[in-house]
Every structure is written in C-alpha cells, then in structure tokens.
Amino acid sequence: MRFQLLGPLSIAEGHDVVVLKPSKPSSLLAALLLHPGSVVSTGYLLRALWDDDQPATARAALQSCVLRLRRIFAKYGVTGNVIEAVPGGYRMNADADTLDLVRFRALVREADDAGDAEGELYRLKEALTLWQGPLLANVPSPMLHRDEVPGLTEERLRTLERACDIELALGRCRQVLVDLWEAARRHPGRERFSEQLIEALYRTGRQSEALSEYRSVKGRLKEELGIDPGPSLQRLELSILRGDDLGPLALDPGFDRTAPLPGGGAPPLAARTEPLAIAAPAPATVPASALPPVPPAPAVRPVPPVPSFTGRTAERAAINARLTAGSPDTAVVVLSGAPGIGKTALARQAAHDTQDSFPGGVFILAMTREDGSPVTPAEALTHLPPPGAADGATLLVLDDVTSPDQVRPLLPAAAGSAAIVTSRRGLAGLMATHGGSVHRLSTLEPAESRQLLAAVLGADRVAAEPEAAAELGRICGYFPLSLRIAAARLLTRPGLRIEDCVAWLAEDLPARLSLADDPRLSVPQVFGGALRRLEPRWQEAFHRLGDHEGLLLPSHALGNSPEAEEALERLADAGLLEEGPPGPYRIHRLLKIYARQQARESQHSQAATARH
C-alpha cells in the first residue's frame, strides 16, 4: 500500500489506485503527508482544514477528522498505527516505498550523487514520472494550495530544468524540444525554459523560429511586467542575430545542481539566481568523457547591480572604502541585523561597486541551507579557487553565516583581498580574532522606503498616491524584504491601487507579506527560520515578548533571573531584538506581532494536546 501526493491525492495497491473524494479527511491526510515523519502541529492542521475561518469546535472536529481518516485507511487495507498522536500535534511516517514525494526526493538525491550524465539523467526522469497531474486537485484546502503547492511545484520545475540542461549538454537538442515547448508554454514566467527552448531551436537549424520565440518572450515580459529579458537571453539573441557558432554544448557552470529545494534534499552553496548570484564555476557535473571538448569557462564574471537598490548611502560608502583601502591584511566587513533587513542586498551591491578592485574574482557563497543548518567550511572550500590559483586579490561574500568558525578557514590570504560576511549575529568572536568593521543594519528611513517603491513601481504610480505609499512603508515596517514583497504584488497588478493594497495587508500582518509563487519570499517564513535556529527555551522567551507593553523592553522584561537576561541577549544576538544593556532592548513592530501570533498558536496546540 502506498500514498500518492504528486497529483490527485490517492491510495494505491499494485496497479489499483483509489482517488480520494474532496473532504476534510483528504485535507488532513495531505497536510500530514507533506511532512512525512515530522510532528505536524495542531495549529497547522487547523489552518489546513479551515484556513482562517475556524469554528469554535475546530479542535474537537480535528479529532473527529483523525478518526474518519483512520476508518478510510481500514477500508482500503491500510493497517497499523499510521497516524500517531504526539505532544503538540500528529505524525505520519512514510518512506520511499509508501509515499511518492519521499521517493521523488530520494531519486533527486541519487541523481546528485551519480557519477555520469546518463545516470543522473535516468534518475531525474524517473523522479519526474512520479508526477501524475495537477497537485492536490481533490484536496479542498486553500491553505495547502496557497502555502505548500508552490514549493512542491518549484521542486518539480527545478528538476525538469536540470534534466533539460543535461539533455542539451549531451547534444540531444531535437529530442528535448517537445519537453521544452510544453514547459515554456505552461510556465511562461520561468525564463530558463524559454532560454533552453530558443537555444535548442537555433542549434537544430531553426534560426527564424528561435528569434520568433525570443521576441514573443520579450513582448510578454514588456506587456505584463514592464521589464526586458535577462542578460543571458539577450546574449543568446545577439548570437542568433549574428549567426554565431555557439560552440559545443556544456552544462552551465553557474547552475548548481545541489541548489536548495523547498522540500529538502541536499542544498547548495551558491544557487543560480540570475541576475544576482555570482560564484566561481562549480565543479563539472558531467564528466569530460561524456561531453565534447569545451574551452575553459572564465573564472570571473561581472557582478550585476542589485535591481532597484536604494538607501544605505552612508553604510555603502563606508563599506566600499573599507574594501578598497588596499590593506596588506584581509579586510573583513560584517553586515548584521534582523531577518529581512537587507543584509544580502547590501553585500551584493557592495560587491558590484568594488569588483574592479579584485582582479582575482568575486565569489558569493550561501553559508546556510534551506533547513537552517550551516554549510561546513570544507564544503565551502570546494567552491573556491585553491590557494594561489586566483590571479590577484579576491572578494569573498559569505552570506548568512551562523558562527565565526564558518568564516575563519575561508578568508582569502592574498594582499588586498577582502571578505563581506552577512549574519543575523554580530560575530564578535570573528572581530576579536581578525578585526574588521561591523555594520548593524536598521530599517530604512521613510524617504528611502518611498524611493524603493518608486524604483520598483515607477515614480508616477507612487506620486499619484503619496499618502498611501507612505502608509505602505509604515505597515511594512520599513523592512526592505516587506517592501519588495508588497511592491511585487502591486507590480503584477497594475490596476490595483496602493491604498487598497495597504488595507488588505493591514488586515493580517505579517502573514500577507508573502508571495504565493515563491515560498522563500515570505516575511513569516523568514522570521520563523530565524527563530527555529534557536533552542526551544529561547523560542519560548521570544513568544512571551509578544504580549509585553510597547516596543521598548527593559532588561527585566522576562524576569530578573540570570536565565531571563541570557534569553534577551540570545534573542538580540539572533537579530530578533536590537540594542540592549545598558539601555533598553527594542523589538520591531512586525516581530512583536509575529511573536504574539506564535505564542497563541503554541498555547492552542498545548491546550489541544492536554484535552486529547
């Protein structure tokens, strides 16, 4: 007996498949299977069943749903204690033999470890065959479709992109055209599929069709988003217009096949996030014997500016001066601050500003995986040139560092080299051993927030509703991440008034500061990721701050014990609080709202567990 989640939710035995009817038990089963082997909190399950419209008897009804689901299992021969009641919620165990989602992720991991291109492609294609139609089409849960389906869809599309990359690299341009036509039409927002399709058409002698496809993509982007195709597509168009020989095919060295997927798996050090992520060419994922000979890829590529970057004038000038001072010792700059405050954007912009001072190259590495676990220095070193191999001073950007020990073995030694380190922590230990400068970022000023909105939406649209634009900055807490999420929502809805967007967001902060098509662009998810890195006792301390009066917190806000003082220090070091002794701590309004919501959800879960 096995469960099928990658399509309509169903139970299968051999070749017999039973598609479950849309019902509350179906939503409950889907919510549990999306997190196999993990404790799924009562609060999460309640939202999966009733979203925000939960009846007064929701917790009792949840227990009834569990009983109904167990009866469905018995009806179809699923025996044993499949659903476990545990403190805080329920758990459902599954493995690669009993759940297609687990099997899919296992095959993707096996593909990463394959020693040859054919083996990798075989496993990726096998993984893709597990997808059997529209995800959760028979599951009537708005929350799961809004919060979970986009992440699963992203896993499939990244796998499909990778499979097409390998087929192109193996010279199978004609064979992959059918898949690319379908992918480009079904997912017009993903430029990579269009790029693959255009290149495949050109390489098979269909130059006019390739140009027609490019112009279709360009026209759609202009009409819907007001933007041009990315640099990679533009270079491809120029090559086609000139009739260039593109040369032998090879896997794009900027594409990291271990890039993180929302559901797990082996995450990356530097994902291909055009146009921002810049890294040295990754180790080849297809052996040279499997591909035609190719000229070596350049070790250094230009670092593009961060789109619509605004504000941070003083910090940016100070950082650039520090990086280009030409010190014989490695210059270290640490950017710290709250989650979503804009550390990564400032680091990348500084890398763009100063790249001409580093002839040895600029290397940007993500130092934390999607699950919050740190990348080890040994893993990071595999993505950097060996000592002495770089031609001159280098700039290393280490993004989302969790401890000083991650940084010390990676610092470049060549004279004039530098490192920018972003972290939610202050990394005082690194400063004690290596010196440098620390910039603790705060929120944007109201004028800077308006500039950011104008840069994204256009000055005319912001000028038409100046008061609404100012209020949007305020309810977004002047956080760059919040502002960019709100601006993206407005950008894709050109007829929506800023005032109406403000009213809608204000009804449910910070939950509505999220984008459905990219689970990573979510203020609650970013806040939650920072919180989950802490021990449970510090998480609980953060929850308690939600009901504290005001945004200023005295040193005795959690009590007068040494542990209470340590809790505040831990939260401040994690970027969840600011300032501290001898003055008061400060908590940002969005973080306080989030703390209050999390505290109430935790209380509801504990109460439900006690009743159960």
Band the pLDDT of 50: cuts 50, 70, 90: very high
The conformation of residue 191, written as its DSSP 8-state character, comes to: H
User: How long is the chain?
Assistant: 612
pLDDT score of 279:
31
What value does the mean pLDDT take over residues 250-276?
36
Question: Which residue type is seen at 448?
Answer: E
What value does the mean pLDDT take over residues 300-309?
77
pLDDT score of 281:
31
User: What whole-number distance in Å separates Cα of residue 510 and Cα of residue 490?
Assistant: 17
Beta strand 418-423 with 331-336: parallel, antiparallel or unpaired? parallel
User: What whole-number distance in Å separates Cα of residue 554 and Cα of residue 169?
Assistant: 61
Band the pLDDT of 284: cuts 50, 70, 90: very low
- Residue in the structure block whose two tokens are 């002839």: 359
Q: What is the pLDDT of residues 166-188, one digit of tens each?
A: 988 888 888 888 889 888 888 88
pLDDT score of 598:
84
For 234-273, the three-class secondary structure string (H helix, E strand, C coil) is HHHHHHHHHCCCCCCCCCCCCCCCCCCECCECCCCCCCCC
Band the pLDDT of 259: cuts 50, 70, 90: very low
- Residue in the structure block whose two tokens are 């819907």: 224
Are 46 and 54 in contact by the 8 Å Cβ rule? The answer is yes
pTM of the shown model: 0.52
Band the pLDDT of 492: cuts 50, 70, 90: confident
pLDDT score of 34:
94
- For residues 422, 425, 430, 431, the Cα torsion angle rounded to the nearest 10 degrees is 90
Bond from prior residue into 510 cis (ω within 30 degrees of 0) = yes
At residue 377, the 3 state secondary structure works out as: helix
C-alpha 415: how far from chain center: 35
pLDDT score of 5:
92
Are 191 and 233 in contact by the 8 Å Cβ rule? The answer is yes
pLDDT score of 572:
87
The DSSP annotation for 22-91 comes to SSHHHHHHHHHHTSTTSEEEHHHHHHHHHTT---TTHHHHHHHHHHHHHHHHHHTT--S--EEEETTEEE
What value does the mean pLDDT take over residues 565-585?
84
Bond from prior residue into 519 cis (ω within 30 degrees of 0) = no
Containing 394, the helix (H) or strand (E) segment is strand 394-399
